[in-house]
Amino acid sequence: MKRRHFLNATTASVAASMLAACGGGDESTDAQQAQAFEQANDAKKRPVTVSTGPIKSRVIVVGGGMGGATVAKYLRLWGDGVEVTLVERANSYTSNIMSSLVLTGQRTMASLDFKYDTLISKYGVKVVLGDVVSIDPVAVKVTLSTGTVLAADRIVLAPGIDFDEVPGMGTSNKMPHAWKAGPQTALLASQLAAMPSNGTAILAIPKVPYRCPPGPYERACLIADWIKAKRPRGKLIVLDANPDFVTEKDNFSNAFFGLHGGVIEYVTNATVSQVDPASMQVYTTQGVFRGDVVNLIPRQKGGKLIVDSGLANATEGRFADVNMLSYASTVAGADKVHVIGDSSATTQPKAGHIANQEAKVCADALSRLLSGATPDPAPVTNSACYSTITMSQASWLTAAFQYDAATQAMKVVPASSAASVGWAKDNFGDMSTWFKALMADSFA
């Protein structure tokens, strides 16, 4: 795919409603790309103003991140008199996307902060500050930690991810994951800033599936570039629990072994078995490693609520299997509970852009179901992703997915995958444009 079409498909169409996440693959023709993205766009051409008629049905959305904020907004736009209550435990959302740039001092935490004001004032979403501790899928109710019970016709769960416990970690904050942006991101940034000039940083990558497949590799590239500039005698050990780069292999291997070869030591099949925060040691299946800074990203599962509610019926009990036409849970008796974003188990990557896309498919399906109709039988999503290879250059990859009735799964649209050959400064600028458009589509 030529760069021009990629930008049309992300930067321009993003503003309209089509957005993308993380995929990869071969070059394809402009015509094939244009057709795939056109299909994705057509599937989502819907009203852009909120209906003002009487309330006919109610939906509770749990989690106001990339998936939850988007589904709340689009249910208000596309639903026929759907009252939407969004329950979120934080006052505002901190974006994970772009958060690795805080580690190199290129972004502030404040620049990652997104408020719910527009969802309330422009779209009429009711936002409740609270922590949902349980759900009743049959009675379609959620209970907050305060004891408040909310009832609706449907529930959408978008609580993101939680982590496996790491043996030895206890309550120590000496080895932050910074994989849910927030205080841990600021903490890791301060630990890096205090790293000695000949210091060693460690970045441990968990087994797939995890949130944002290229994310750890792009963070490694960023930190390596920062080390070259600020700690010229320092090094970065990347401990990967996987046997190889899990995505964008060409660009990341050229970056790891070529561009950053003097800084990065890449160890594959290195599953972390235990840590000792006091001595800053990481025990793995490939030996014991010591770092002055340790960014340990643990293995992941769906948000606690998904696991506690018995909805994690896929991926060894980690994520929620869903019907790909509506994102309804496949657990018996829980078909009025829909799961989107990183908590769901799909063939699409766990990415913010895909969470936004899943949210739109879910909003569309719910607006039809609540009016007595059936969901779109052929949903299309798309995914784009920029990866920082240096502090000023990025690569990209993109793919479109279409529902395959035979397997009841989302499949990559033939010839829709593409990745940049190498990295460039222009892509870095485009990444900011894409980010602004994505966040506006979800929160504004």
Ligand X SMILES: Cc1cc2nc3c(=O)[nH]c(=O)nc-3n(C[C@H](O)[C@H](O)[C@H](O)COP(=O)(O)OP(=O)(O)OC[C@H]3O[C@@H](n4cnc5c(N)ncnc54)[C@H](O)[C@@H]3O)c2cc1C
Among 350, 361, 393, 428, binds ligand X (CB under 6 A): 350
Q: How far is the CB of 122 from ligand X (least distance, A)?
A: 20
Using alpha carbons only, how large is the chain's radius of gyration in Å? 21
Distance CA 179, CA 297 (A): 7
Among 159, 277, 291, 375, binds ligand X (CB under 6 A): 159
Query: Applying CB under 6 A, does 247 fall inside the site for ligand X?
Result: no
Q: Can you spell out the DSSP letters for 71-101?
A: HHHHHHHHSSSEEEEEEESSSSEEPSTTTHH
Query: Applying CB under 6 A, does 24 fall inside the site for ligand X?
Result: no
Distance CA 384, CA 9 (A): 9
> Which of the ranges 87-95, 239-247, 277-285, 373-381 carries the binding residues for ligand X, by CB under 6 A?
87-95
Beta-strand relationship, 126-129 and 82-88 = parallel
What SS3 class is residue 434? Answer: helix
Distance CA 137, CA 370 (A): 17
Number of residues interacting with ligand X: please give it, by CB under 6 A: 38
Of 156 and 365, CB closest to ligand X: 156
Distance CA 223, CA 245 (A): 17
Encoded one letter per residue, x for contact with ligand X by CB under 6 A and - for no contact, window 298-337 reads: -----x-x--------------------------------
394 near 3, Cβ under 8 Å? no
Distance CA 41, CA 167 (A): 46
Count, residues in the chain: 444
Of 56 and 314, CB closest to ligand X: 314
- Minimal CB distance residue for ligand X: 65
Count other C-beta atoms under 10 Å from residue 380's C-beta. 24
Query: Applying CB under 6 A, does 137 fall inside the site for ligand X?
Result: no
Among 9, 345, 351, 400, binds ligand X (CB under 6 A): 351
> Which of the ranges 46-54, 84-92, 252-260, 389-397 carries the binding residues for ligand X, by CB under 6 A?
84-92
Among 179, 245, 423, 428, binds ligand X (CB under 6 A): 179
Listed in sequence order, the residues at least 6 apart from 110 whose beta carbon sits closer than 8 Å to its beta carbon are none
Query: Applying CB under 6 A, does 149 fall inside the site for ligand X?
Result: no
Q: How far is the CB of 99 from ligand X (least distance, A)?
A: 5
Among 63, 209, 277, 298, binds ligand X (CB under 6 A): 63
Query: Applying CB under 6 A, does 142 fall inside the site for ligand X?
Result: no
What SS3 class is residue 315? Answer: coil
Binding site for ligand X (CB under 6 A): 21-22, 62-68, 87-90, 93, 96-97, 99-100, 131-132, 158-160, 179, 211-212, 215, 303, 305, 341-343, 350-353, 355, 385
